[in-house]
Amino acid sequence: MAGRAPGASRKFDYTLDYAHLDLRAHPELYRVGVGEQGVLLVEPYKSELLPHWRFRTPEVARESSEALYAMFLAYLDADDFVGADMARKFIQMGFTRARRYANHRGGRKYAGPVPDDKKGQSGAHGRAERPRDPEDPVKAEAARIFKAKWDEAKAHPKYVELQRAHRAKYG
């Protein structure tokens, strides 16, 4: 791809020391990755966004998704793609977690423990998926609220423009 540095990758880089790395100061190190990769790692955004992330009821989900979306817009206003993308990921995570709880009482989608070497990464990692419980309508509504905000965020023209520019510049 034109503009990509040699060896640059679109994959999220789990080898970076995120606990000691400020991605606002070093946006060149950020990779979007797939889905929600890095959502609970990338600072200072994780610390700014996580306190606003809740999905227990539709009312809580509405308040949370609106707060996160307002932060998304503020990051866009500041031309901060990394912040906007992290806010988008928190909104997406609100949808996926509420959907998981709607489908699986207690939120456990897979049987058995998470392998220690796979914590924080997506996927089943060879574990069997538990059968779905009857849908929880409260969590399903919370998921719908987040899904609407997620769709709005990922289609926002300035977000799309900043994402394209970030990928062209950094890979």
pLDDT tens for each residue of 25-60 = 999 999 999 999 999 999 999 999 999 999 999 999
Instruction: Check: CB of residue 65 under 8 Å from CB of residue 143.
Output: no
Range of the domain at 86: 18-107+134-170
Number of domains in the chain: 1
Tell me how long the chain is. Answer: 171
pLDDT of 94 above 90: yes
Q: How are the residues of the chain apportioned to helix, strand and coil, as percentages rounded to the nearest 5? A: 55, 0, 40
Q: How far is the C-alpha of 31 from the C-alpha of 141, rounded, in Å?
A: 31
The pLDDT tens digits of the residues spanning 27-36 come to 999 999 999 9
pTM: 0.83
Does 1 fall in a domain? Answer: no
Decide: residue 20, CB within 10 A, 0-12 exposed, 13-18 middle, 19+ buried: exposed
Does 78 fall in a domain? Answer: yes
pLDDT band for 8, please (50, 70, 90 cuts): very low
